[in-house]
Amino acid sequence: MPSETENKNSIDENALKPVQAANPPHKTLASSSSAKNNTDLSKTVIFLDREMSQIAFNWRVLAQAEDRSIPLLERLKYLCIVGSNLDEFFEVRVASLLAQNTVDGELVEHPAFLAMLKRISNECHQLTKRQYELLNQEILPQLSKKGVHLLRHSERNEAQRAWVKSYFEREVRPLLTPIGLDPAHPFPQVVNKSLNFIVSLAGKDAFGRGTGIAIVKAPRVLPRIIKLPDEISPNGLSFCLLSSVIHAHIEDLFNGREVINYSQFRVTRDSDLWVDEEEVKNLRQALQGELQTRQFGAAVRLEVAKNCPEDLARFLLEQFALDPDRLYPVDGPVNMVRLGEIVDYVKQPNLRFPPFSAKAVAKYSHNDIFTLLRKQDILLHHPFQPFQTVIDFIRSASLDPNVVAIKQTIYRTGMNSDLMESLITASRLGKEVTVIVELMARFDEEANINWADKLQRAGAQVVYGVVGLKTHAKLALVIRREEGGILRHYAHMGTGNYHPSTTRFYTDFGLLTAHPAMAAEINEVFIHLTGLTKPKKFEHLWLAPFALQPQIIKAIRNEARIAREGRPGRIIAKMNALLDESVIRALYAASADGVKIDLIIRGACALRPGVPGLSENIRVRSIIGRFLEHSRIYYFRNDLEHNVYLASADWMNRNLFRRIEVAFPVLEKSLKKRVISEGLDPYLKDNLNAWLLDSEGHYERKKVRGNQPRFCAQQYLMQQLGSLSDSDEE
């Protein structure tokens, strides 16, 4: 579940206000800074704390792992997602906060900032503790009963121990390089999130010196999850961790020395890339240089085994210049994310969600997609409808002799992509191909650099967007010469990335259209991005950083005006995060004017709903389910005009002012109704996967009341739009 931090040089002042603190396992609590039932708005802190809200989101994800109605392997995946989210939270958000408050290498000890760090530490420690409790007390024991065994050294039988020893000698030991620390062998560079061991030794080394500590790095080329052969796994599938293999034979690495103590450890580092875009002449070359150093950013968290001796933990903290609050002893592998590899091995269907297949939207053959688009727009709702339609659109364009140009933005697309291969094919066939590749897409930089290189070698025009702004908009444009020599434009706009893998797990909308005015505006966006021209004033598109926030606020204020005039005002918005203060203030004002506002915010939300006199007409909910909720939908009733916009942008300062983002309207009435009936209404009815946020910052899980029917939005959409096993019906 990827998320990105604000610019390191722009601190969010509200982050220093102790407004909200998460309280496990299922809720987020406000601190004493906002007293209950406080109606004196002059004393009310009107924004919830961003960091605590983000941690609260991870408690909601962890609740999925606690849910015993969910298949076991899926519960394990949720545990891994929490681990991945926490990694990114430390790598990006915590690292950014520390960097903002560091001067000349020293942390500024501002009381409010230190208090915030303490709250983050307390919550993350509790979250981590509960994560490993679930792993050890519920999920692994229950998987073992189902024939899936993750074996510690003490649990392996003689045959298994013999095989593991042979594996260690054959595959592991030759790649290990123990480093005994002395003046000639200082503490080694430790790569971000890598598996390592610290070892305490007794006696003298081969040269008669008392080097007491050694470091062993686990090479990244080695698998972290090792499947034992079936012939020595009579009771199902057996696995062991690489860390367990090294633990069992670590003494073999120090011949003639006594191993007193040892522990696995992992350090999490600042992974934000920094490039002075105003100084560099070639952003790609500069970024490639930064990628080499990303693995060695400032340390922000240290994980060790639960039984790590205090002296070794203290030694590691000193080496990484970390205070004790950032030490995380864990009862299991220091990188829980790796356990997700077990899921790929196990084929038992009863341990997974029932299979789901997306149904095709419309029938078409090669080039017929353009004929179809001249008749009607195509609305796609992923993953309930296949992303293959978008792939076919670009592939057809690449092979169609009548297509003269293709333009596309790329934010995340993955290492393997049929879309990118189609663009390369189109360029080699002589079409004008322009691709705007965002090199600063966090953690996808290397893949994007590789695609940029391949596209350029194929003859495509590759640009890297606008200096200082990430190109986050999801746009593709096909220009085709048709009868009479007329150039017709066909476009795709989306709320999600051009990444076929994630479209199977993320909910997103996409619109394919041949609407002349809208497609022409998309072309103007590409001209603006490549030529750095001043954008025109658009009739249909809302473009950040120029018009998106003003248009959002204008639409909110319009609903407020309608309400003041005595007619119903209504706003429904769905997105990943809501943090922009100006938009929140506009929503507060609209609420005070009587506008009914429903917000479906998956992750961090700084708005306080339900405060009398401030936000009593605003409700906020978060949906956590089988799929990652990723679509952004803005709905304004507007006196029954029912304005519906789909967008790539959340309502965050970074999206509205530091990115190229596009919100686009759904114009056809039938498709508007679909967006509302598929993307909004079911989520407002959900009483199984919904969490409600109250005025004090509590997230409470929605419960089925009395004879109320059980309703799951994602389940409903799978049944309505796709093909789902009957056994999965609610």
- Are 605 and 48 in contact by the 8 Å Cβ rule? The answer is yes
Distance CA 125, CA 74 (A): 23
- Are 14 and 47 in contact by the 8 Å Cβ rule? The answer is yes
646 secondary structure, DSSP code: E
602 is in an annotated binding site: yes
Q: How many CB atoms within 10 Å of residue 399? A: 15
Active site residue 489: no
In the set 472, 489, 499, 515, the catalytic residue is: 472
Distance CA 206, CA 213 (A): 14
374 is in an annotated binding site: no
Strand partners, 660: 471
> Tokens 């926030």 — which residue?
549
Tokens representing 385? Answer: 């409808």
Residue 325 amino acid letter: D
Tokens representing 241? Answer: 């961790």
User: Phi/psi at 663 (nearest 5 deg)?
Assistant: -110, 135
| Residues across the chain | 730
- Are 626 and 353 in contact by the 8 Å Cβ rule? The answer is yes
- Are 664 and 511 in contact by the 8 Å Cβ rule? The answer is yes
Distance CA 241, CA 705 (A): 44
282 is in an annotated binding site: no
Question: Which is it for strands 487-494 and 699-701: parallel, antiparallel or unpaired?
Answer: unpaired
Q: What is the DSSP string of 371-427?
A: HHHHH--EEEEETTS-THHHHHHHHHHHH-TTEEEEEEEES---SS-HHHHHHHHHH
- Are 678 and 658 in contact by the 8 Å Cβ rule? The answer is no
Residue 128 amino acid letter: T
Distance CA 7, CA 57 (A): 21
630 is in an annotated binding site: yes
Distance CA 71, CA 346 (A): 13
Give the residue ranges of the annotated binding site for Mg(2+): 412, 442
Q: Residues with catalytic annotation?
A: 472
Give the residue ranges of the annotated binding site for ATP: 85, 506, 602, 630
